[in-house]
Amino acid sequence: MRALLVIADIGGYTKFMTVHRINLAHAQYVVAQLLEAVIDAAEPKYELAKLEGDAAFFYAKLADTPKDRELESFRDRIVAIRTAFLDRRAELEINRVCSCDGCVQAGQLTLKFVSHLGEVALQKVKRFTELAGVDVITVHRLLKNSVTVPEYVLMSTPVFERLDDDTRQLATPSKERLEGLGEVDTHVVDLQKAFAVAGKAQPSRLRAWWGWLKMTWRSLPYFLGLKKACDGFRTLPAIEGREQA
């Protein structure tokens, strides 16, 4: 199956997560909220293949016969996902009532994308469906790259060649050496320079307190030691079940 593969990865995640139990639980809640916004903006055009901690792995089936400029909607979808992320992040910042590190530092999180196009196989493992193949490995290898800007789209040449002319003009040629795959030609778009996004979030005390209540309720089992905070992404209700086929 030919497919466009896209990983939306939250930057600053490792630094953001703290060791204190309640801070970690709140930090996981914040990241879960951001991932929900990313997933909602990507679907149904891009289908969620898997949640990978601080990243969402998507794919979109393509026609068996390549067509020129077949990824014309790629730019619009990336902008929509990024806009949804920034809006949710601003909402969490503006309507924040908690002063723990996890909540205060939410505004430091960023979003980056890597994308590749190739052949994949669907592999059923119990109730889950996994994507398999060399091209799946390739798109994940792209996450470890030499790009220095905080928010970007790093794409392989097969993706770049099928974009519309306006989007291609925004990209800068580059090369990446991928483990086990050697050197590959890539193209980078600096999202902060290419696409200006105006925030829509407005302060609301009601939303702030309602958000705080939801976060506190979901975090309570971790605070009391009934659940491990590192398992948060698997148990948060809004995301639970999205990995199932």
Q: How many whole angstroms separate alpha carbon 76 and alpha carbon 170?
A: 14
Farthest-apart Cα atoms in the chain, separation = 56
Instruction: Look at residue 110 in the predicted model and tell me its pLDDT.
Output: 93
CB atoms under 10 Å from CB of 43, counted, come to 12
Q: 147 in helix, strand or coil?
A: coil
Contacts of 145 (CB under 8 A, 6+ apart): 114, 154, 176, 186
Q: pLDDT value at position 244?
A: 37
- Residue 70: predicted pLDDT: 75
pTM comes to 0.79
Q: What is the pLDDT of residue 231?
A: 45
Question: Can you give the pLDDT at residue 127?
Answer: 76
Measured CA to CA, the distance from residue 117 to residue 61 in angstroms comes to 10
Is CATH 3.30.70.1230 correct for 2-235? yes
**pLDDT at residue number 119:** 94
Distance in angstroms (rounded) separating the CA atoms of residues 202 and 91:
7
Domain boundaries, the chain: 2-235
Distances (CA, A) of 175 to 104, 108, 182: 36, 28, 10
Which pLDDT score is estimated for 136?
Answer: 96
Please give the pLDDT value at position 240: 38
Q: What is residue 13's predicted lDDT score, i.e. its pLDDT?
A: 67
* Residues of the chain falling short of pLDDT 70: 13-23, 68-69, 95-103, 196-245
Query: What confidence score (pLDDT) does residue 199 get?
Result: 55
pLDDT at 26: 72
What are the φ and ψ backbone dihedral angles of 123, each rounded to 5 degrees?
-120, 120
Distance CA(234)–CA(66), nearest Å, equals: 37
Kindly report, residue by residue over 7-65, the tens digit of the pLDDT.
Answer: 999 987 666 655 455 567 777 788 888 999 999 999 999 999 999 988 999 999 998 77
Angle at 159 between CA 153 and CA 162, to 5 degrees: 125
Instruction: Express as a percent the part of the chain with pLDDT over 90.
Output: 47
Q: How many CB atoms lie within 10 A of CB 61?
A: 11
Whether the bond between 44 and the residue before it is cis, its omega within 30 degrees of 0, is yes
- Residue 104 has what pLDDT? 73
